[in-house]
Structure 1
Amino acid sequence: MKISDLGAVAERYLAAWAAHDLDAIVALHSADGVFRLHTGGAPAIGRDAVRSAFAAILEQFPALTVQVHRVLLGDRHWVLDWTLVSGQRRLDCLDLVELSDAGLVARKDTFVDAAQLPAALGAA
């Protein structure tokens, strides 16, 4: 995949999250895609499970905005260094997003700052 194509997918993906457009987010995932939030839980496997996991995030953080610090593009992946902001809550995150041969998100791993997690999960 060309870097320009990868960059375009990453931009669409970020725009879908910024719009809280769950349908658009999930449409960019492969049917057998995996999402893992590295906080100790099990990964979400398959488009329906990924949708449920993302819906829960959007419900927990209704004012979610993404503050992008940097995006690093690879052959078929990108790394996103970002901060989740929702009201007064902030959580520094790092995503590793891998694409399938079809150009869809095959796997998304989100790593969070464990020290910030309790406050981020608290009341706004």
Structure 2
Amino acid sequence: MTTAISELFERYHACWADRDPDRIIEFHTADSVFHLHSGQGPVRGRAAIREAAAGTFALVPDLSFHLISLRVGADFWVVQWQLTGTSSTGKHVCVDLADYVLVQDGAVQEKHSYVDGVAMQAALA
């Protein structure tokens, strides 16, 4: 099962790396939850997740993900990233992020992203 989860991670991450919200939501269950733990509440459902992803890419149009660490289990993955890019205001972005993703029936059921909020606010201010 961890091979299937690893392969799902790779395909899902490719959509984020391509900054493609339409492809991202194809990997989510219909009732999926995405929660960027940076002061706002979770969003639910594919349409809301698409909007949240598109909003992220609007804030940092050239967003890049640098893999630090990945752990995969039978129905989850945990990954540590360093995100870089240039904010829509022209500031350099370099923040740490950790994702905890729960998988159900081969799709993302929940995605919890924990970001270095101080660094993110400084980059987007």
Tell me the equivalent position of 2:117: 114
Give, as a single letter, the amino acid of the residue that structure 1 aligns with 2:98.
L
What SS does structure 1 have at the residue aligned with 2:117? coil
**Over 2 Å off, 4+ runs:** none
> 2:79 matched to which residue of 1?
80
Q: CA deviation at 1:114?
A: 2.7
Cα RMSD (Å): 1.0
Q: Deviations for 1:52-97, whole angstroms, at most 9, x for unmatched residues?
A: 1111001111010101101100120000100111132111000001
Equivalent residue, structure 2, for 1:19: 18
- SS of equivalent to 1:42: coil
TM-score normalised by length of structure 1: 0.92
Q: Within 5 Å, which residues of 2 pair with 1:12-91?
A: 12-87=11-86, 88-91=92-95
Structure 1: stretches of 5+ with no match in the other structure: none
The AA in structure 2 aligned to 1:35 is: F
Distance in 1 (CA, whole Å) between partners of 2:123 and 2:75 is: 31
Aligned length, in residue pairs: 120
Counterpart-to-counterpart distance in 1, 2:40 and 2:121:
15
The one-letter code matched in structure 2 to 1:3 is T
> Which of 98, 107, 123 is residue 102 of structure 2 equivalent to?
98
Deviation at 1:48, TM superposition (A): 0.7
Q: Distance in 1 between matches of 2:23 and 2:45?
A: 16
Per-residue CA shift, 1:98-124, capped at 9, x if unaligned?
111x210000000011331222223xx
Report percent identity of matched pairs.
Answer: 35
Gaps of 5+ in 2: 87-91
TM-score (norm 2): 0.91
The whole-number CA distance in structure 1 between the counterparts of 2:121 and 2:51 is 22
